[in-house]
Structures are given as structure tokens and as C-alpha cells.
A and B are shown apart, each in its own frame.
Chain A
Amino acid sequence: ETGVTQTPRHLVMGMTNKKSLKCEQHLGHNAMYWYKQSAKKPLELMFVYSLEERVENNSVPSRFSPECPNSSHLFLHLHTLQPEDSALYLCASSQARMGGENEQFFGPGTRLTVL
């Protein structure tokens, strides 16, 4: 247990569906992240929230929409996804601090399949 939980663990959705992934961290951290891991590809950073403000967006398609209502919760809203969006979606949190040390703790991930 890393102190970062994700729900659901598995999700199958059609291309016209709308769904949301949820992440919660119990570590008192001030930064949260969404990563995408496709088969046989490195992890790709999607979004970063630090102190509840989005500070980085790596040109992710608009069909992915993050929401961070407070420092403990992070959502990823999904709509009109494509089959190539099928992947493992990972949430992480960290305590960003001066000096740059920033160990990230990851949740178990949500395995998403888009039909």
C-alpha cells in the first residue's frame, strides 16, 4: 500500500460513453499527477497539479479532462475516447519542496479498455 488509491481498477467503455477515474492520496502531499502507460511504451505524463493548480499539460487531447477539487483528490474525466486510448492510467502524488527532492508515490492504476 502506497497511500494512493485509484478507482475503478478496471474499466471498459464504449467510444460514446462518459466516465471518470478517481484518485485519492492519504499522504498529505501537495502535488498530484496523471500518467498514461500504453502497451510496451514508457509512462507518459499527462497532467500535474501542484497546490491544486494545474502547472503542466503535455498537449493531451481534450477528450481527457482533469479535475483537482482539493489536494487529496484528483479526477480524470473521459469522453468520446478512441480505442488507442486503452491503457493503464496511473495516479501519483508527491510533496514538492524547495531543493527539488520529489519522490512520487503511485497508485495501482486503472486498466482502461475502449471498445
Chain B
Amino acid sequence: DAKTTQPTSMDCAEGRAANLPCNHSTISGNEYVYWYRQIHSQGPQYIIHGLKNNETNEMASLIITEDRKSSTLILPHATLRDTAVYYCIGRSGYSTLTFGKGTMLLVSP
């Protein structure tokens, strides 16, 4: 599975868009990009995943570059409850998810 690189932490003002970057330059053609988040002391929560095309659901949007070497998770209107650690994971086939250290997103008033 592709190694992913994320910033350690980010800040965002409440109501603004939060754009969380992820580099996955070694990603292979059949690997999906998954995003999860974990609010303190809770289980991780699935957010979104994609392969090539940009994806959107009720939680977020996922923008994947054309070369697939990086992606951005967008929370369009961040709230205080979006404060969490966000994990970007590359995964293929039947392999399991490997969580890294993620990005600690702090949303402030």
C-alpha cells in the first residue's frame, strides 16, 4: 500500500472551509485513497474514499490530482465538532487499512 504524508496539525476557523492535504506519490493504479477521522477517545469514523475521480458526500469532498500523487479532503464549512485527527490511507485489493499519525485539525471559534 502507498505511503502517505500529511501535515502534523492544521488550524481552521469555524465556518470556513478546511482543506487537508495528503501526499501519496507512490500510489499504484489500483489503490484507493481513504479518509477517516478520529475524535478524541472515540473510534475512527469513515469519511470518504476515491480512486481517480473527485468524490463528494454529505460529510466532505475529496479532490484527487490527475497524476494521483496527492489529494485534498475538503470540509466545506468546518464546525467545532470537526476537531479531530484526520487520516489519509492508501489501500488496494483485500489489504487492510494501515493508519499513520494523521493530521490534527483544530477548529476554533
Chain A residues with CB under 8 Å of chain B are: 2, 4, 33, 42-43, 45, 48, 50, 56, 88, 90, 92, 96, 100-109, 111
Contacts and interface: CB of A to CB of B under 8 A. Distances in A.
Contact of B99 (A42, A100, A107, A108): A42
Nearest to A109: B43
> Chain A CB within 10 Å — which of B34, B43, B93, B98 has the most?
B43
A109 B42 contact: yes
Consensus secondary structure, chain B interface: loop
A103 B46 contact: yes
A106 B44 contact: yes
A103 B44 contact: no
A42 B85 CA distance: 11
Give the most central of A2, A92, A102, A106: most B CB within 10 Å. A102
Contacts of B94: 50, 96, 100, 102
Given A45-B98, A105-B46, A106-B44, 18 more contacts: A2-B45, A42-B101, A90-B44, A92-B44, A100-B30, A100-B92, A101-B49, A102-B91, A102-B94, A102-B97, A103-B34, A104-B44, A104-B97, A106-B45, A106-B46, A108-B42, A108-B43, A109-B41
Contact of A100 (B43, B93, B98, B100): B93
**CB-based closest 6 A-B pairs:** A106-B43, A43-B99, A100-B93, A42-B99, A103-B46, A106-B44
Interface string B75-107: 000000000000000011110111111100000
Interface in B1-59: 30, 32, 34, 41-46, 49
Given A96-B94, A109-B42, A111-B41, A103 B100 contact: no
